Amino acid sequence: MGTVWLQQAFKQAEDGEQQVIAWRRQIHRHPELGFEEEQTSQLIGTTLKQLGIPYERVNRTGVVGRLIGAQPGRVIALRADMDALPVQEKTGLPFASEIDGKMHACGHDGHTATLLGVAAALAPFRAQLNGEVRFLFQPSEEHFPGGALGMIEAGALDGVDAIFGVHYIAGIPSGKVGIIPGPMMAAPDTFTLKVTGVGGHGSEPEATRDPIPAAAEMIEALQTIVSRRVSPLKQAVVTVGTIHGGYANNVIADEVTMTGTMRSFEEPLRRALFDWMRQIVGGVAAAQGVEADLAIEEGYPPLVNEARMTALVQQAVRNVFGPEGVLAIPPSMGGEDFSYFLQHVPGAFAHVGVHNEAKGIAGAQHSPTFMLDETIFLPTTQLFLQVVADFLENGLSGA
């Protein structure tokens, strides 16, 4: 029975391809930052209502739709994020952002439109579905603490057996899907380090405690964390991204402030990075006679794909995109709050390529020239449909 409705749903998706593109362009024209996605949420709610799919607003601007099949069964959740970025668009597209200083420069407009397309393709077949398909439209993925935790706290995952999501990625060719089991994206933690000394005249350094050489020594020492404390068989990053200090060429400053990021894939290593940073900063500060205040802000946890769910998605990609559609990509040091969902239920997250040099679609993620290859929406919609069928109807779980 699953095979019959799936083929019909594929046809439904083909018929609705232009509507998905229209939704995406509407959302793209009116980008909204995290927890400001009112117009986007209204569009989602109106569409779900027209499809006869019950929904509720959660976590301020989030939307949860529930398509419950006629027969009992498992519950699968599909997630799309909705928020834009504070970027001034420079694509020249006829449907470019109409909001100054805001742009969908990461593909979330495509995620939202695609998931609406999945809902529209599935809605006519609820009488043939065993179980439930839950649609999670999540706010504020771009800025920590993100919107996933609030969705979870509001009950979006209650009763869910598995969850799946995708991200449109500029670094992968259109028509390819990158996915691997295990750690796929890193924990994007950040830090602020304030070094305080005693300022004075540049001609009398003996009367001061100069924070600038202390800060320089700290930067040098922090580089030894990855090169000398982390096993070469593991992956980590410690980056000092900004440094601010000093007032004039003949003044010894009284403070220096630095900010940076740490990236890692495993929780024990993540905790070790924090400890090593504190040890190094404290040791240098004591040696230099200055004070150091290190504030670490923990970001999203590492995104870890469950092996069986990853295998399910990989097979679905082969069915929809073809045998060569799956890419075994290396883990990314980028972060994603889909990781919170995966801490609660098994699932998998995939990167769907949208890079198409022949069409001039080559802008980098988060850049003013980022664009999507809209021909990818249909196969991605069908990929979600295939995953739903395999998980709910065919009894496949990647085992």
- Residues with active-site annotation: 300, 374
Q: Is 119 left (phi over 0), alpha (psi -120 to 50) or beta?
A: alpha
Q: Which of 338, 365, 363 is nearest to 185 (CA)?
A: 338
User: Under a CB-based contact definition with an 8 Å cutoff, are residues 72 and 395 in contact?
Assistant: no
Give the list of residues 6+ apart from residue 248 with CB closer than 8 angstroms, or none: none
186's tokens: 């890193």
Give burial (CB, 10 Å; 0-12/13-18/19+) of 252.
buried
Please give the Cα distance from 152 to 335 (Å, whole number). 18
Q: Which of 77, 92, 83 is nearest to 361 (CA)?
A: 92
Give burial (CB, 10 Å; 0-12/13-18/19+) of 203.
exposed
CA dihedral 332, 335, 336, 337 (to 10 degrees): 140
> How many whole angstroms from its chain centre is CA 8?
31
335's tokens: 């972060």
Which residue reads 């001061």 in tokens? 208
Query: Does the bond joining 145 to the residue before it have cis omega, within 30 degrees of 0?
Result: yes
Write b or e for each residue in 258-276: b if 16 or more Cβ atoms lie within 10 A of its Cβ, otherwise e.
Answer: bbbbbbbbbeebbebbbeb
Q: Which of 303, 324, 318 is nearest to 390 (CA)?
A: 318
Report CA torsion sign: 143, 149, 154, 159.
positive
Separation in Å, CA 138 to CA 27, 157, 209: 14, 12, 49
User: Under a CB-based contact definition with an 8 Å cutoff, are residues 353 and 174 in contact?
Assistant: yes
